[in-house]
């Protein structure tokens, strides 16, 4: 019976990822196709063409986003967007939601400064356990003055396998360990739950040893 179990698991490893992938693709196609229901009945593709084309909603949504981007990138379009945002900023609840979503979108899709600047190790959730964290934004002077730390780093601690969720912390630079690995490699490690690890990760052990030595020296001086 053991060989049947082995073959069954091997078959599941082939079909399960394929089935989930197809299900996700179908869900996305149906989701974008439902956006066509926003059009008046006489302008819907099935009315104009006489038949339905699966996936047409994805193409039309892409064209709509592209045209909007072209318009927003020129002077007239940017002024219209500014007027629209000015109107939204006067609506209390909508203002907060719109501003938060826009900041997240600019951080994720923006072409300016990279959202995640460096990769760090922090001792979490308890002493002796370490997890990856990403430095975000710029250091703020107010927390640095209030805490008395020489340097405060802003860190985002992601969750596995969805790195978009997590929490934000401000830490003493001396209490965290900077890793010499690329942000993309660290994100792959988080998403895969540690299955995919960068080649340079063994360097983290050396960095941890140095951090522990510095910590022990600091504790002995107290």
121-125, 139-143, 210-214 — which one is most confidently predicted on average? 121-125
Q: Is 140 left (phi over 0), alpha (psi -120 to 50) or beta?
A: beta
**pLDDT for res 211:** 65
pLDDT digit string, tens, across residues 90-105: 888 888 888 877 776 7
**pLDDT for res 221:** 58
CB-based contact 61:45 (threshold 8 Å): no
Model confidence at 27: pLDDT above 70: yes
pLDDT digit string, tens, across residues 128-147: 888 999 998 766 777 777 77
To the nearest whole number, what is the mean pLDDT of the chain? 80
The mean per-residue pLDDT over the stretch 197-205 comes to 64
Q: Strand 116-123's sheet: what is its strand order?
A: 166-172, 152-158, 130-136, 116-123, 177-179
Task: Quickly state the pLDDT bin for 205 (edges 50, 70, 90).
Answer: low
CB-based contact 155:122 (threshold 8 Å): yes
pTM, two decimal places:
0.52
* Spatial CB neighbours of 68, under 8 Å, sequence gap ≥ 6: none
Decide which of 156 and 75 is more confident.
156
Decide which of 176 and 165 is more confident.
176
Model confidence at 113: pLDDT above 60: no
* Spatial CB neighbours of 216, under 8 Å, sequence gap ≥ 6: none
């Amino acid at each position: 019976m053991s060989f049947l179990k082995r073959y069954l698991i091997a078959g599941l490893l082939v079909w399960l990822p394929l089935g989930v992938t197809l299900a996700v693709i179908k869900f996305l196609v149906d989701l974008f196709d439902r956006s066509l229901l926003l059009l008046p009945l006489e302008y819907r593709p099935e009315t104009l063409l006489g038949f339905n084309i699966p996936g047409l909603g994805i193409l039309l949504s892409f064209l709509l986003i592209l045209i909007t981007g072209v318009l927003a990138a020129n002077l007239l379009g940017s002024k219209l967007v500014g007027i629209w945002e000015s109107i939204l900023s006067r609506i209390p609840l909508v203002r907060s939601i719109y501003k938060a979503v826009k900041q997240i979108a600019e951080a994720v899709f923006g072409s300016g400064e990279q959202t995640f600047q460096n990769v760090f190790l922090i001792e979490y959730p308890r002493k002796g356990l370490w997890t990856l964290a990403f430095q975000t934004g710029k250091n703020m002077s107010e927390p640095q003055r209030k805490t008395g730390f020489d340097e405060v780093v802003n860190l985002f601690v992601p969750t596995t396998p969805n790195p978009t969720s997590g929490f934000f912390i401000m830490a003493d630079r001396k209490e965290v360990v900077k890793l010499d690995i690329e942000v993309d490699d660290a994100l792959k490690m988080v998403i895969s739950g540690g299955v995919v690890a960068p080649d340079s990760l063994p360097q983290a052990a050396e960095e941890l040893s140095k951090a522990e030595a510095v910590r022990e020296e600091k504790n002995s001086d107290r």
